[in-house]
Amino acid sequence: MQYPEPIAKLIDSYMKLPGIGEKTAIRLAFYTISMDQDDVVEFAKALVAAKKNLHYCSICGNITENDPCTICADKSRDQTKVIVVEQSKDVMTLEKMREYHGLYHVLHGVLSPIEGKGPEDINISSLLKRLQKNTELSEVIIATNATPEGEATAMYISRLVKPADIKVTRLAHGLAVGSDIEYADEMTLYKAIEGRQEI
């Protein structure tokens, strides 16, 4: 038995989202149908408004309503440091910590030869232009994920930035607080040993 066309289209729409398979899409579609009319309208308005009103900051590439974004516009932030992250959601995660008061740069992805993503496909060229313009910048902190693609991107950026006599650092990777060594994989243990600090 086939679903009525409106439900089938809704299921297809949900399946376009990352990590949503057919079963989850069906469940979401039927849940959406059971919602109050007003809630569905508000949900649809929120989707349209987010797509219409959000864009990328012309300086750092973070998602924003205003250009430049609030972080780039804040002159009280430490202008000597910039953290390079893969996605805008990483900025939000680091900001929740409330310990870092410098600048950010969002790549919108990582280098991935398998997926055909090269340096021209992510936000690297604007980072280099930014480093040339901002003479105060003395450290680039690379905070890409600890994946093969994240590591390759970190090394690539490091090779581009170091000749400009700017310090390049990488976020430490290793054991999570509260975790047991016996459950850690070899790469996590390697990173923990490599990133050890004196106490």
Is there a single domain that holds both residue 16 and residue 106? no
pLDDT (tens digit per residue) in 81-126: 999 999 999 999 999 988 899 999 999 999 998 999 999 999 999 9
Q: Are 80 and 138 in contact (CB under 8 A)?
A: yes
Q: How confident is the model at residue 197 (pLDDT cuts 50, 70, 90)?
A: low
Is there a single domain that holds both residue 45 and residue 81? no
pTM: 0.83
pLDDT (tens digit per residue) in 120-150: 999 999 999 999 898 889 999 999 998 889 9
Q: Are 106 and 91 in contact (CB under 8 A)?
A: yes
Domain count, the chain: 2
CATH of the domain at 26: 1.10.8.420
Collapsing DSSP to helix, strand or coil, 170 comes out as strand
CATH of the domain at 137: 3.40.1360.10
SS3 content of the chain, % helix, strand, coil (to 5): 50, 10, 40
Rounded Cα–Cα distance for residues 52 and 44 (Å): 12
- Is 37 within a domain? yes
Range(s) of the domain holding residue 149? 77-177
134 closest CA partner among 75, 56, 193, 187 = 75
